Amino acid sequence: MTSNKTGWTLVFLFSLISVLIWTFMQSLSTRFVNISVTMTSLGQLTALVGTILLCITFILSTRLRAIERAFGGLDKVYVAHHIIGTVSFLLLLFHPLFLAIKFAMISASTALHFLIPSSDIALNAGIFSLTAMILFLLFTFFIKLNYQKWKITHKLLGTALLFALVHILFITSDISRNIILRYYIMAFVFIGIASFLYRSIFHIWLVKKYEYVVKDVKVSGSITNIILDAKEGQKLRHLPGQFVFISFPKIIKEFHPFTISSSPDEEGIRLSVKSLGDYTSNIQEIKKGDVALIEGPYGMFRSNAPSQIWIAGGIGITPFISLAKSLKDSKNNRDTKVDLYYVVGDKANAVFLEELNNIAKQNKNLRVITYFSAEKGRMNADFVSRSSGDLKDKDILLCGPVLMMRNLKEDFKKMGVKNSKIHMEEFALL
Ligand SMILES: Cc1cc2nc3c(=O)[nH]c(=O)nc-3n(C[C@H](O)[C@H](O)[C@H](O)COP(=O)(O)OP(=O)(O)OC[C@H]3O[C@@H](n4cnc5c(N)ncnc54)[C@H](O)[C@@H]3O)c2cc1C
């Protein structure tokens, strides 16, 4: 398990560099000499940092390995994408507002002229860029759409970046006056646009898709277990706890993320899917012999700590099955002591209990503890510490419903467990 400090440090540094170049162009005393000039300066600063951050959100969506490593897992990359995107949007929203205040000090009509389209290409491009952001982000923050429709609106945000490029190319400002600042910002905008084109169009050809064939499908209650074999020369290499994006071109073309619930040492791979919505319900129609395309693997949900607590809620058990199986296989992990808490409503929902007990029989260091919430109520950290002893030196891995993970994390922190020792895998990419 790696921390996501590298990624965040880089984001901070890239933003800071733009501010530093801007600062060295002119003394700060002249930049903030009176209200009107201060408004211009604030407008410029919000534009610089907002643009860098906007480009970074596109770069983060490429799913490149280096980015995943820098943030400590793809789910963390998407959390960062969400946070950075929100900050960038707010900064870019304030950019014209600060400038409008400056113009309002001359007259209300000057300010109004500045905010509505005119014959000025640069200004128009800026207005269109912000309008596109406001319009398409309504569907991220306020209007709930189903995932596929939302994804289309989110991809259209690329138009905001294209308009931003025109705005930056033609506007007369510090970016046009200072060549270093100009090239610095332009480099980011071009990388942002390249990232957008890569993920939304060219990934079809550029990102490797492994071809697999369905070997078996087993339905157990609301869980469908799909066992897949690689076609000749198509086997992907994965680590325990990782996930893939999978599509079944004949039945369901969309790619959805699922954790590999088998161990890397097994011949094929197994995915265990809980029916929740359209895709996961249709998955029961998959038959032996169907072809699947797989992108990945992704994820860094594992730990090397000698003593670990794993807590799974419902279908959140999938990464732990893979991790548990590979405990005995891997020389490095053979002495790792693990207490695995399997939290489900009742015994009927503990679909993987038998399999886990069989794994535990072969590994004395693995203890499986069931927790039936219908009987005992909400799972809490007290229960874990009573059963597993002092938690401070252990790594705690959580996977399950977001609310359960957040509550447990807070409980553990109150008990004195350090934040860095608690790791969560979310089954939703924000
Ligand atoms: C890292 C990771 C690992 C996962 N592992 C498993 C697993 O082992 N077993 C399991 O049953 N489920 C797993 N999931 C959850 C699974 O991906 C969703 O339940 C499924 O995609 C929902 O699709 P749907 O159309 O059935 O439901 P919907 O109701 O359409 O979607 C429900 C939610 O799932 C997410 N989602 C939907 N489509 C996509 C997509 N194409 N890409 C990304 N997210 C999407 C969205 O957050 C959406 O709000 C995992 C998710 C992630 C992020």
* String of DSSP letters for 345-404: SSGGG-TTHHHHHHHHHT-TTEEEEEEEHHHH-S--HHHHHHHH---TTSEEEEES-HHH
Q: Is 352 in the pocket of ligand 1 (CB under 6 A)?
A: no
CA-based nearest residue to 260, from 235, 282, 277: 235
What the block records as the tokens of 324 is 């548990």
Q: Is 224 in the pocket of ligand 1 (CB under 6 A)?
A: no
Distance CA 82, CA 67 (A): 15
Beta strand pairing call for 395-399 and 307-313: parallel
- The whole-number average pLDDT for the span 278-294 is 90
Model pLDDT for residues 61-96, shown as the tens digit of each residue: 999 999 999 999 999 999 999 999 999 999 999 999
Q: Which residue has the tokens 């300010």?
A: 111
What the block records as the tokens of 226 is 């799909």
Express as a percent the part of the chain with pLDDT over 70. 97
pLDDT the model gives residue 184: 97
Ligand 1 centroid, distance to 307 Cα (angstroms): 30
Q: Is 369 in the pocket of ligand 1 (CB under 6 A)?
A: no
- The whole-number average pLDDT for the span 343-372 is 94
Beta strand pairing call for 291-298 and 210-220: antiparallel
Model pLDDT for residues 400-426, shown as the tens digit of each residue: 999 999 999 999 999 999 999 999 999
Cβ burial, residue 417 (10 Å; 0-12/13-18/19+): buried
Beta strand pairing call for 252-259 and 269-274: unpaired
Express as a percent the part of the chain with pLDDT over 90. 83
Distance CA 71, CA 78 (A): 9
The protein residue with its alpha carbon nearest to ligand 1, atom 7, reads 258
pLDDT the model gives residue 329: 54
What is the best residue among 74, 140, 276, 278 to mutate for testing ligand 1's pocket, by most ligand atoms within 8 Å of CB? 276
Q: Is 257 in the pocket of ligand 1 (CB under 6 A)?
A: yes
Q: Dihedrals φ, ψ of 217, to 5°?
A: -130, 125
pTM of the model: 0.90
Residues 6+ apart with CB under 8 A from 46: 91, 92, 94, 95, 98
Reported confidence tier of residue 430, pLDDT bands at 50, 70, 90: low
Check whether 338 has a pLDDT greater than 70.
yes
**CA geometry: angle at 257 spanning 288 and 413, to 5°?**
135
CATH number of 307-425: 3.40.50.80
Model pLDDT for residues 117-142, shown as the tens digit of each residue: 999 999 999 999 999 999 999 988 88
Model pLDDT for residues 9-56, shown as the tens digit of each residue: 999 999 999 999 999 999 999 999 999 999 999 999 999 999 999 999
DSSP type of residue 236: P
Q: Which residue has the tokens 């995107």?
A: 85
Q: What is the mean pLDDT of the chain?
A: 93
How much of the chain is in helix, strand and coil states, percent to nearest 5? 55, 20, 25
CA-based nearest residue to 320, from 308, 305, 330, 306: 308
Ranges 64-73, 216-225, 276-285: which has the least confidence: 276-285
Ligand 1 centroid, distance to 128 Cα (angstroms): 33
State the fold for domain 210-298.
Elongation Factor Tu (Ef-tu); domain 3 (2.40.30)
Distance CA 368, CA 352 (A): 11
The protein residue with its alpha carbon nearest to ligand 1, atom 49, reads 147
Helix/strand/coil for 287: coil
Check whether 3 has a pLDDT greater than 70.
no
- The whole-number average pLDDT for the span 187-212 is 95
Check whether 331 has a pLDDT greater than 60.
no
pLDDT the model gives residue 302: 92
- The whole-number average pLDDT for the span 342-370 is 94
Q: Is 278 in the pocket of ligand 1 (CB under 6 A)?
A: yes
pLDDT the model gives residue 252: 81
The protein residue with its alpha carbon nearest to ligand 1, atom 6, reads 258
Reported confidence tier of residue 332, pLDDT bands at 50, 70, 90: low
Check whether 240 has a pLDDT greater than 90.
yes
Check whether 380 has a pLDDT greater than 80.
yes
pLDDT the model gives residue 165: 95
Beta strand pairing call for 366-372 and 269-274: unpaired
Residues 6+ apart with CB under 8 A from 47: 91, 92, 95
Provide the greatest CA pair distance for the chain. 80
Q: Is 144 in the pocket of ligand 1 (CB under 6 A)?
A: no
Q: Is 256 in the pocket of ligand 1 (CB under 6 A)?
A: yes
What the block records as the tokens of 245 is 């994006």
Ligand 1 centroid, distance to 256 Cα (angstroms): 6
CA 256 vs CA 146, 273, 287, 400: distances in Å: 14, 11, 18, 17
Ligand 1 centroid, distance to 149 Cα (angstroms): 15
The protein residue with its alpha carbon nearest to ligand 1, atom 2, reads 427
What the block records as the tokens of 365 is 């260091």
Highest mean pLDDT among 108-122, 319-333, 395-409: 395-409
End-to-end CA gap in the chain: 21
Model pLDDT for residues 141-183, shown as the tens digit of each residue: 888 888 888 989 999 999 999 999 999 999 999 999 999 999 9
Q: Is 273 in the pocket of ligand 1 (CB under 6 A)?
A: yes
Exposure of 73 in the CB half-sphere (CA atoms within 13 A): 22
Ligand 1 centroid, distance to 146 Cα (angstroms): 12
Ligand 1 centroid, distance to 147 Cα (angstroms): 9
CB 240 within 8 A of CB 249: no
Distance CA 324, CA 259 (A): 14
Distance CA 220, CA 349 (A): 10
